Every structure is written in structure tokens, then in C-alpha cells.
């Protein structure tokens, strides 16, 4: 052994596979759909501890909905969900290519995680406030933000909702109840708890839902949020999207090896559901259950969405440097789009032909939206926001020192 | 009018703010049932209820994060951080979130928080109960930072802060919470009832944020200061018998630079006094701006009298504290130069 590369008594978690290895997910135990129990929402938290270690599932291996968690959901709503997920995926593909061609500075896809956001948005009410992190673009699509608006944000152009101040994908949409995304991780979780406490303070039954990645649960903010949510029984859903990877570090580095992320709330008396995040119906059912609990003043819920980040973290990293290639093909919980599609086909509510023509339609919509977005400017071409927007909104009204600096900037 | 200490004036301001709007609430450690470790919120929970004066867990990052969410949802939280020394766990929520919500969201979201925190030393608080962190906040664009020096100012500025739609850091010099302290540690602090600015109107009033106060008119030197040091400055000038103009800036950001440059252009000399550590202290910023705008009027180098670049010590508190003698020496050096 090299004298400066010791084996020590510190336990360093390791990913079970790395580049060059065959993908291996044999450590993941998938209980049968029928094994999942759906307790009444007023069940005491400690009597539901098992749910944080199981896996809420609805779709079985034949893509049929079964078990206690099977939600009542109309075929049209399922078709909408499929359409939203497809739209997110094709939108992501298009924007990723544009970044590679040099039209965008940055992009970040949510491939494989579309159900996590879309199904949750469909299970919540429009007055419920969403505090997402950066991989829930499905919330925007499901709540109806036009693609062109999303593109304008990514281009920092004259129609950008953020007025050119944020990286691509850090959207904000007040009208759609979608909180401005931070670039710092975990900060949105205590904010969601505070928003929910304010709803309770105002005696209305709107709730807040927030999303955080498995890696970021290590941030203090997550633990502050659990404390406050527990102490004040805030009507909030805290979603942990366990996509197994925080850029290059496997979820064990965030503590996923020793317990589930769903169980993080147990010490605070907050129940946790561990959910198959690639099962659209399971995400829908779990969100609905947690939302009912929150609205009934029964308290917060932690939901771990067990899923897989099908591609790299963003356009800035190369996943082949830290994990096996084609790993997503081996992911034992399948693909959310494909599974909902097969479920609808099995119900006689969808067909391959309809699916193909929907893809064509969305592709053409995405292209048309981008053609429109470009007209409002890009980073280096076309119309551009006025330099004064750089100095606006730092404060509600521009103070003297910023007015002087604006003048200096304008004089060049 | 009534004689009030700074604690009473702050309490009175928060009472009026809670009375004025049901959307205003107070949260912090020990602020509720007990009324705060410095008694600033005494009686308010009894009067307005536990839902409006909320005792929180000991988690400053959580308190501020949660208050931001409340602010986004239409409430107007007044947050108390028990000592300014304790705000560091909330730094990310203050800097990356609170200060920039409006900017990063294109004006869609904001949270009108007022974060109160007692600051400063001279109370044998050692290095974790004595700090003056105003320069850290001054460096964060999007925040306003206020520091009063009298009960009258404290009430008017706090009510203006609570009313302001921008996030605000409200620093309270705790050495003068209950009386005027002039820097002489051998002398008991005199009651606020002996000071003209201890006379406080009982009705609602505000003072403008971003407006300095010329505490004492003078012709030979400008002495710029804030917080506890306003009273140290006044005593030092009195003792030395000098013709000095003393300005209490009252607001760190936005700084009322015009009042400062107006005075320095008249006197041609400038001393800056603060309790915080020297390097990159707010005095450095004031000094830079005065130099930029008053260079051709200056007859002497600008002097800074500050705490030393050490943590606030327990044993050597009075060697650290920039007291009257250091102020007088600096004034004399500046007057004798050039």
C-alpha cells in the first residue's frame, strides 16, 4: 500500500458501480404492489413508520393499477399527465441540443423524473404554493405556463420573467403559484414551511409543497424545516426527490445508505412515504394523501420519490466520468412516460398511433415556441433588455447610490 | 410625550405595529411568553396572543427561512435574533434569499422582513455577545441596515422599517437600551429620562430611513458615527472643548452621503468612529466616499477610531472599546495636521 494512501477506520460510502461496470441495481428491494397499505390520514405518525421503509406503488409489472393506493382518476386526466410528461421531455431534449449548439449558456434536464413533478401538480389545487428546486419543470408545464415563456427565461431575453437575472431553468411564476427557484440548495424548504404557516395563520386551507434533492437533504435548511414543520404542524408536503445522484456523488454520501430519506421526519413525529417516483399513479396518490392530511390540519408529510436521474446533472457535467453508461436502461422501476403510456393503452384509452402523433405535435409546438422566443431576443442577437433593469428591483425603489451607478454604467 | 428607555420605545413601536395590522407578527427565541431576554417584547404576547408573538426553536437559519415564506404569503414578520452574534446560521437565508428575492424573480416575489438584533459591547459579553456586524450587511445589496442611537429615533425608525417593503436589518445598540452610556465605564449610565431624546411621543410616527442626523453643530472637524458611539462622541467633544460637528448616520444603507460631504466640505476635517473592528469596517466605506467627494476640501487625512482587529475580548473589553480618550486623541491629531 502506498504510504500516503492509507486504509483507515473511517467508513467512506461507495457507489456500487462506476464507469466500466455493468449497471447493478440488485440492492434495490421492490415490494409487490399489494404489500402497500394506505392508512387513514388521521393515523398517528408513529403507527405509520413502516411506510417510510416500504414503497408506495400502484402500477404493477403489467402496468395495471392495483392495491390500496390506486387513485380515482379520470382517463382524460391521465392523458393530460402523459402529454405534460412528454412535453417536458421533448422540451428538455430541444433545449439541451440548443445549449450544445451554443444558443444557451446552460441547461438542465429532468429526464426520468417527469412524473415526480407532473403527477404532484395534478394532485394539488391551483391555490397551493409550490417551492421547487431546479428539476421540477414539470410543475410549470402541468400548471400551464406556455413553453415560450420558459424559453424566454432560458434566453434572458426581453420577455424573461426574471428580467435576465438568473441562469437558465431558474424560473419564477407568481401567477402560477411557483416560487422563484434559488441557485442555492435547500433554502426553499423552510420558506415553504413559513408560507404554509402563514396560510394557517390566515385560516385558509391552501397548503405548500416543496421539493429538494437527496443530496441537499444534508443542508441545515432541510433540518430547520422539519423542526418548524413539526413544531407548528405546518400544512406542507416536503418532497425529497431521491434520484440517486448529487452531480457525481451517490446518494449514500447524503446518508441514504443508513436509512431512507422518507424516514428523515420520524424523529420529529412527521410521517414519511417512500414512493415509486416513476409510477405516475403512485406519485399522484401519495401527494393526494399528504395534501388531505395537511388540509385537515393533521400536519406535514415527508415524501421520498424514489427515482433515477436518467442523464447528467446538467450541461456542465459528463456522467460517463462517474457512473456506468446505459445505467438508466437497467433501472428496475422503469421509465415514467413509458409506464403511464402502457397503462393507458391497457385501459383502451390510448394507442401507439396516438402516441406517435402526439410526439409529432409536441415537437412542432416546441419548434414554433422557440421561433417565437428568439424574436424576443437571445443573449447575443435581437432585442435586449435595457441596462437600467440591472439596477431595478434591488430595492423596491431605486436609492440614490444605485441611480448614480446606473448613470455611470450608461456613460460606459 | 413620555419618558422611555430604548427598550420601552421599541416595545411601544412593536405594540403600535401589531395594533395597526393583523398581518404583522413577531417571532424569535424567548420573545413570547417571557417577553425577550432584553424585555423588548414584554407584554405583547399577553396582549396579542401566542399566534402573533411566536416563541421559536433555537434555529436562526430556520427562523429567517420560515419568516421569508410568511412574508411571501402576505405577512409582515418582525424577527428578533437574540444577539447579533447569533445571526450567522441565517446568513444564507439573508444574503442569498431575503436580499435578492425581488431581484431574482423580476419583481414577482419579496418578503418585507424586519430583523431586529441587539449589537455592540461594553457589557462584559465576550466575543459571542458583543459584536457589531453592520459591515457584513452593508456589503449585501438588497438590504437596508438601520441603527438608532436614542429612544426617539429607535421608535420612529423601527416603525418606518416595519412599514418598508424592503428587507431590513435593525441593529439595536444594547449598551444604551436602558440608559445613556458615554464610554466612561466608571460612571453609571444615566437614565434616558435625563436625555431630550428619551422623550418619546406615544402616538404612531416614523422617521425617514436613509437620513442622517446632525447631533451637534460645529465648524472645525466632522465626527461621523452611529449607535452607542454617538454618546461617546458627544462626551469626548464636550470634555475636550472642541468645535466639532457630530453626525449620527442612523442608516448604514442607504447612506446619507450628502449630509456627510456637506459637513466635511465645511470643516475640511473628518474622523469616523465605530465600535466594530477596523479592517473593512463600515468606516472604511465612509472614508472612501468622503475621499472621493471631498478630496480638495480636506486639510488633514481622514482618521478612523474603531475596535481593534481582534475578537471582542472579555478581559480587555475596555482596551478594545474605542472610548473618549482615543476619540479626543484622533480629533486633536486631525485638528493639528495640515
- As given in the structure block, the three cell numbers for residue A152 are 424566454
**pLDDT tens for each residue of B108-125:** 999 999 999 999 999 999
Contact between B144 and B254 (Cβ < 8 Å): yes
- As given in the structure block, the three cell numbers for residue A346 are 391497457
Distance CA B102, CA A396 (A): 8
Distance CA A156, CA A172 (A): 13
- As given in the structure block, the three cell numbers for residue A261 are 430519506
User: For residue A5, what pLDDT band results from cuts at 50, 70 and 90?
Assistant: confident
> Quick check: A182 pLDDT over 90?
yes
Q: What are the chain B neighbours of A221 within 8 Å (beta carbons)?
A: 61-62, 65, 92-93
ipTM for the predicted complex? 0.97
- Return the residue of A nearest to B75 by Cα: A198
| A395 at interface of B, judged by CB pairs closer than 8 A | yes
CA A232 to chain B, closest CA, distance in angstroms equals 9
> Quick check: A94 pLDDT over 90?
yes
- Return the residue of B nearest to A165 by Cα: B104
Q: Do A396 and B102 touch (CB under 8 A)?
A: yes
Q: Is B16 helix (H, G, I), strand (E, B) or coil?
A: helix
Q: What is the mean pLDDT of chain B?
A: 97
**What's the pLDDT score for residue B215?**
98
Contact between B112 and B71 (Cβ < 8 Å): yes
**What's the pLDDT score for residue A252?**
95
Query: Strand B168-173 relative to strand B199-200: parallel, antiparallel, unpaired?
Result: unpaired
> Quick check: B324 pLDDT over 80?
yes
Distance CA A295, CA A75 (A): 26
- How many contacts (CB atoms, under 8 Å) link A and B? 142
Distance CA B187, CA B181 (A): 8
**pLDDT tens for each residue of A29-55:** 999 999 999 999 999 999 999 999 999
Q: Is B270 helix (H, G, I), strand (E, B) or coil?
A: strand
**What's the pLDDT score for residue B290?**
98
Contact between B122 and B174 (Cβ < 8 Å): no
- Return the residue of B nearest to A209 by Cα: B69
Tell me: cis bond preceding B235? Omega within 30 of 0 counts: no
- As given in the structure block, the three cell numbers for residue B96 are 442569498
**pLDDT tens for each residue of B194-210:** 999 999 999 999 999 99
- Return the residue of A nearest to B71 by Cα: A195
Which of B54, B73, B97 to mutate: most A Cβ within 10 Å? B73
**Percent of chain B's residues with pLDDT above 90:** 99
**pLDDT tens for each residue of B143-190:** 999 999 999 999 999 999 999 999 999 999 999 999 999 999 988 889
Q: Do A165 and B104 touch (CB under 8 A)?
A: yes
* Residue A248, C-beta contacts closer than 8 angstroms, at least 6 positions apart: A313, A317, A321, A322, A323
Which residue carries 421559536 as its cell? B56
Q: Do B75 and A401 touch (CB under 8 A)?
A: no
| Half-sphere exposure (Cβ direction) of A86: Cα atoms closer than 13 Å | 22
Distance CA A264, CA A268 (A): 8
Contact between B43 and B11 (Cβ < 8 Å): yes
Question: What is the rounded average pLDDT of the residues A196-224?
Answer: 98
A350 φ, ψ (degrees, to nearest 5): -160, 160
Distance CA A281, CA A86 (A): 16
Q: What are the chain B neighbours of A228 within 8 Å (beta carbons)?
A: 56-57, 59, 62, 66
Give the predicted TM-score (pTM) of the model. Answer: 0.97
User: Of B67, B106, B254, which is closest to A194 when you measure between CB atoms?
Assistant: B67
User: Of B62, B109, B255, which is closest to A172 when you measure between CB atoms?
Assistant: B109
Domains assigned to chain B: 2-183 (3.40.50.970), 210-332 (3.40.50.920)
- Return the residue of A nearest to B100 by Cα: A394
∠ CA A78-A243-A96 to the nearest 5 degrees? Answer: 75
**What's the pLDDT score for residue A4?**
85
Q: So which residues of B are the catalytic ones?
A: 129
Burial A38-76 (b: 16+ CB within 10 A, else e): beebeeebeebeebbebbbbbbeeebebbbebbbebeee
User: For residue A3, what pLDDT band results from cuts at 50, 70 and 90?
Assistant: confident
Which DSSP letter does residue B94 get?
I
Which of A224, A232, A268, A389 to mutate: most B Cβ within 10 Å? A224
**pLDDT tens for each residue of A56-93:** 999 999 999 999 999 999 999 999 999 999 999 999 99
Distance CA A320, CA B50 (A): 55
User: For residue A2, what pLDDT band results from cuts at 50, 70 and 90?
Assistant: low
Distance CA B60, CA A224 (A): 9
Q: What are the chain A neighbours of B101 within 8 Å (beta carbons)?
A: 180
Question: What is the rounded average pLDDT of the residues B268-290?
Answer: 98
Q: What are the chain B neighbours of A197 within 8 Å (beta carbons)?
A: 66, 69-70
Q: Helix/strand/coil (H, E, C) string of A271-330?
A: CEEEEECCCHHHHHHHHHHHHHHHHCCCCCEEEEEECCCCCCCCCCCCHHHCCCCCCHHH
**What's the pLDDT score for residue B189?**
86
Question: What is the rounded average pLDDT of the residues A234-257?
Answer: 96
**What's the pLDDT score for residue A297?**
97
**Among the listed residues B218, B246, B221, B219, the one whose alpha carbon sits nearest the alpha carbon of residue B332:** B221
Q: What are the chain B neighbours of A184 within 8 Å (beta carbons)?
A: 92, 96-97
Contact between B119 and B81 (Cβ < 8 Å): no
Distance CA B262, CA B99 (A): 30
Write out residues 89-118 of B within 8 Å (CB-CB) of A: 89, 92-93, 96-97, 101-110
Q: Do A221 and B93 touch (CB under 8 A)?
A: yes
Q: Do A191 and B257 touch (CB under 8 A)?
A: no
**Among the listed residues B322, B40, B319, B3, the one whose alpha carbon sits nearest the alpha carbon of residue B190:** B3
Distance CA A165, CA A171 (A): 11
Question: What is the rounded average pLDDT of the residues B82-109?
Answer: 98
- Return the residue of A nearest to B68 by Cα: A191
Q: What are the chain B neighbours of A196 within 8 Å (beta carbons)?
A: 69
A9 φ, ψ (degrees, to nearest 5): -85, 0
Q: What are the chain A neighbours of B103 within 8 Å (beta carbons)?
A: 165, 393-394
**What's the pLDDT score for residue A1?**
53
Q: Is A393 helix (H, G, I), strand (E, B) or coil?
A: coil
**pLDDT tens for each residue of A339-391:** 999 999 999 999 999 999 999 999 999 999 999 999 999 998 999 999 999 99
> Quick check: B261 pLDDT over 80?
yes
Q: Is A329 exposed, middle or buried (0-12, 13-18, 19+ CB in 10 A)?
A: exposed
User: Of A161, A221, A227, which is closest to B108 when you measure between CB atoms?
Assistant: A161
> Quick check: A332 pLDDT over 70?
yes
**pLDDT tens for each residue of B40-81:** 999 999 999 999 999 999 999 999 999 999 999 999 999 999
Estimate the share of chain A in helix, then strand, then coil, as percent rounded to the nearest 5: 45, 10, 50
**Percent of chain A's residues with pLDDT above 70:** 100
Q: What is the mean pLDDT of chain A?
A: 97
* Residue B268, C-beta contacts closer than 8 angstroms, at least 6 positions apart: B297, B298, B299, B300
Amino acid at each position: 500500500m502506498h504510504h500516503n494512501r492509507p486504509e483507515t477506520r473511517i467508513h467512506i460510502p461507495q457507489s456500487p458501480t462506476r464507469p466500466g461496470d455493468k449497471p447493478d441495481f440488485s440492492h434495490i428491494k421492490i415490494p409487490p404492489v399489494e404489500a402497500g397499505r394506505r392508512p387513514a390520514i388521521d393515523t398517528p405518525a408513529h403507527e405509520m413508520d413502516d411506510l417510510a421503509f416500504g414503497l408506495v406503488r400502484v402500477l404493477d409489472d403489467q402496468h395495471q393499477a392495483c392495491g390500496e393506493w390506486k387513485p380515482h382518476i379520470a382517463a382524460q386526466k391521465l392523458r393530460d399527465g402523459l402529454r405534460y410528461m412528454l412535453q417536458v421531455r421533448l422540451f428538455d431534449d430541444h433545449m439541451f441540443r440548443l445549449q450544445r449548439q451554443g444558443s444557451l449558456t446552460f441547461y438542465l434536464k429532468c429526464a426520468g423524473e417527469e412524473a415526480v413533478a407532473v403527477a404532484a401538480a395534478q394532485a394539488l389545487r391551483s391555490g397551493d404554493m409550490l417551492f421547487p428546486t431546479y428539476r421540477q419543470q414539470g410543475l410549470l408545464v402541468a400548471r400551464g405556463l406556455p413553453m415560450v415563456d420558459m424559453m424566454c427565461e432560458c434566453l434572458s431575453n426581453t420577455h424573461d420573467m426574471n428580467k435576465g437575472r438568473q441562469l437558465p431553468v431558474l424560473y419564477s411564476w407568481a401567477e402560477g403559484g411557483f416560487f422563484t427557484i434559488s441557485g442555492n440548495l435547500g433554502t426553499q424548504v423552510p420558506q415553504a414551511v413559513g408560507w404554509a404557516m402563514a396560510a394557517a395563520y390566515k385560516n385558509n386551507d391552501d397548503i405548500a409543497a416543496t421539493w429538494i434533492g437527496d443530496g441537499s437533504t444534508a443542508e441545515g435548511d432541510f433540518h430547520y424545516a422539519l423542526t418548524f414543520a413539526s413544531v407548528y404542524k405546518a400544512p406542507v408536503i416536503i418532497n425529497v426527490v431521491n434520484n440517486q445522484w448529487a452531480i457525481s456523488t451517490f446518494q449514500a454520501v447524503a446518508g441514504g445508505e443508513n436509512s431512507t430519506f422518507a424516514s428523515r421526519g420520524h424523529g420529529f413525529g412527521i410521517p414519511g412515504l417512500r414512493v415509486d417516483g416513476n409510477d405516475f399513479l403512485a406519485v399522484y396518490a401519495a401527494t393526494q394523501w399528504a395534501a388531505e392530511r395537511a388540509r385537515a390540519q393533521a400536519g406535514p408529510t415527508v415524501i421520498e420519490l424514489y427515482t433515477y436521474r436518467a442523464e447528467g446533472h446538467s450541461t456542465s457535467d459528463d456522467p460517463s466520468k462517474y457512473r456506468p453508461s446505459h445505467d438508466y436502461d437497467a433501472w428496475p422501476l422503469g421509465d415514467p412516460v413509458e409506464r403511464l403510456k402502457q397503462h393507458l393503452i391497457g385501459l383502451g384509452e390510448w394507442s401507439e398511433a396516438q402516441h406517435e402523433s402526439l410526439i409529432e405535435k409536441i415537437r412542432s409546438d416546441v419548434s414554433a415556441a422557440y421561433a417565437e422566443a428568439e424574436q424576443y431576443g437571445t443573449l447575443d442577437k435581437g432585442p435586449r433588455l435595457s441596462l437600467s433593469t440591472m439596477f431595478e428591483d434591488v430595492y423596491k425603489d431605486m436609492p440614490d447610490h444605485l441611480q448614480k451607478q446606473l448613470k455611470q454604467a450608461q456613460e460606459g | 410625550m413620555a419618558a422611555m428607555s430604548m427598550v420601552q420605545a421599541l416595545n411601544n413601536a412593536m405594540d403600535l405595529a401589531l395594533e395597526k395590522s393583523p398581518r404583522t407578527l413577531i417571532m424569535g427565541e424567548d420573545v413570547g411568553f417571557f417577553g425577550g431576554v432584553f424585555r423588548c417584547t414584554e407584554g405583547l404576547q399577553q396582549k396579542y396572543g401566542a399566534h402573533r408573538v411566536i416563541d421559536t426553536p433555537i434555529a436562526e437559519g430556520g427562523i429567517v427561512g420560515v419568516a421569508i415564506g410568511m412574508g411571501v404569503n402576505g405577512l409582515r414578520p418582525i424577527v428578533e435574533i437574540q444577539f447579533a452574534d447569533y445571526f450567522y446560521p441565517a446568513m444564507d437565508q439573508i444574503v442569498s434569499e431575503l436580499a435578492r428575492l425581488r431581484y431574482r424573480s423580476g419583481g414577482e416575489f419579496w418578503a418585507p422582513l424586519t430583523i431586529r438584533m441587539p449589537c455592540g459591547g461594553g457589557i462584559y459579553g465576550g466575543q459571542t455577545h458583543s459584536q457589531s456586524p453592520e459591515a457584513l450587511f452593508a456589503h449585501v445589496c438588497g438590504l437596508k441596515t438601520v441603527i438608532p442611537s436614542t429612544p426617539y429615533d429607535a421608535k420612529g425608525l423601527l416603525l418606518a422599517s416595519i412599514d418598508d417593503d424592503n428587507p431590513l436589518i435593525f441593529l439595536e445598540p444594547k449598551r444604551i437600551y436602558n440608559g445613556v452610556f458615554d464610554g466612561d465605564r466608571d460612571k453609571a449610565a444615566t437614565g434616558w429620562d435625563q436625555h431630550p431624546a428619551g422623550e418619546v411621543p406615544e402616538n404612531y410616527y416614523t422617521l425617514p430611513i436613509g437620513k442622517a442626523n446632525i447631533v451637534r453643530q460645529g465648524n472645525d472637524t466632522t465626527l461621523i458615527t452611529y449607535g452607542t458611539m454617538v454618546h461617546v462622541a458627544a462626551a469626548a467633544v464636550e470634555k475636550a472643548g472642541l468645535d466639532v460637528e457630530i453626525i449620527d448616520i442612523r442608516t448604514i444603507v442607504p447612506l446619507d452621503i450628502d449630509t456627510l460631504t456637506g459637513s466635511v466640505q465645511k470643516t475640511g476635517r473628518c474622523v469616523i468612529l465605530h465600535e466594530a473592528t477596523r479592517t473593512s469596517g463600515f468606516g472604511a466605506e465612509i472614508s472612501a466616499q468622503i475621499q472621493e467627494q471631498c478630496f480638495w476640501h480636506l486639510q488633514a487625512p481622514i482618521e478612523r477610531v474603531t475596535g481593534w482587529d481582534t475578537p471582542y475580548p472579555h478581559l480587555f473589553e475596555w482596551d478594545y472599546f474605542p472610548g473618549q480618550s482615543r476619540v479626543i486623541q484622533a480629533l486633536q491629531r486631525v485638528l493639528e495636521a495640515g
